[in-house]
A and B are shown apart, each in its own frame.
Chain A
């Protein structure tokens, strides 16, 4: 079967750095997304990776290793507004999006 694993919950301190991991086992790979979802709100796009390496976008960076079936989202200079769920999703060989259950990130002052 297809599987995407993310930690269920993480806690970090305001101003710190946190890394949210995502490992996947899918039938094929055509790209990986990260989305942010605040409680009660719509998920919003953060990043897309299809090649190995690090993509940096302001305080957020996303890394991909296709050979290891692994990605992470790195959040720097954490702010209270970063408290949200972070969803990892992989496009498989049939161009279906397979979603992880999401990681709830709690930021403490």
Chain B
């Protein structure tokens, strides 16, 4: 079974630009959540999608948005990039059950390393 796939693996952008990251969950997984990871900080929760609906949202500005398609693939968009947006963006999927925040373990992708210059 293929794991969670994130593309692209690396991305370099300049301030003010926008970026779209993609995540394909494990087949059969309907919940997809996104995290931002920076050195010295814990994973910061961005949002979670389930069956094309945003079910949970973290404390990030409106520049961060996402969506999920009918095949469970998800995209995350960041507009008007700032230097502080440089981070590893991780996507995780979880199997059918009570959702990403129960005792269902998360399956992570390898992430997209975003550098904003």
Contacts and interface: CB of A to CB of B under 8 A. Distances in A.
Interface of A: 4, 8, 30-31, 33, 35, 40-45, 48, 50, 87, 89, 91, 95-102
A42 B101 contact: no
B103 A99 contact: no
Interface stretch (B14-22, B35-43, B61-69, B77-85): B35-43
A42 B108 contact: yes
Contacts, number: 61
A97 B101 contact: yes
Contact of B42 (A44, A50, A96, A100): A100
A29 B99 CA distance: 16
B103 A31 contact: yes
Contacts of B35: 99
Contact of A40 (B56, B109, B110): B110
- Choose among A35, A42, A45, A100 the residue with the greatest number of B CB atoms under 10 Å from its CB: A42
Tier of interface size on chain B: 20 to 34
A8 B40 CA distance: 8
B90 interface: yes
A43 B42 contact: no
A96 B111 contact: no
Interface string B86-105: 00001000000001111101
A42 B102 contact: no
Contacts of B4: 42
A95 B99 contact: yes
A95 B56 CA distance: 10
A95 B3 CA distance: 24
27 contacts: A8-B40, A30-B102, A31-B102, A33-B106, A35-B106, A35-B108, A40-B110, A42-B3, A42-B4, A42-B108, A43-B90, A43-B106, A45-B105, A48-B103, A87-B42, A87-B43, A89-B43, A91-B101, A95-B102, A96-B58, A96-B101, A97-B100, A97-B106, A98-B42, A99-B35, A99-B44, A102-B42
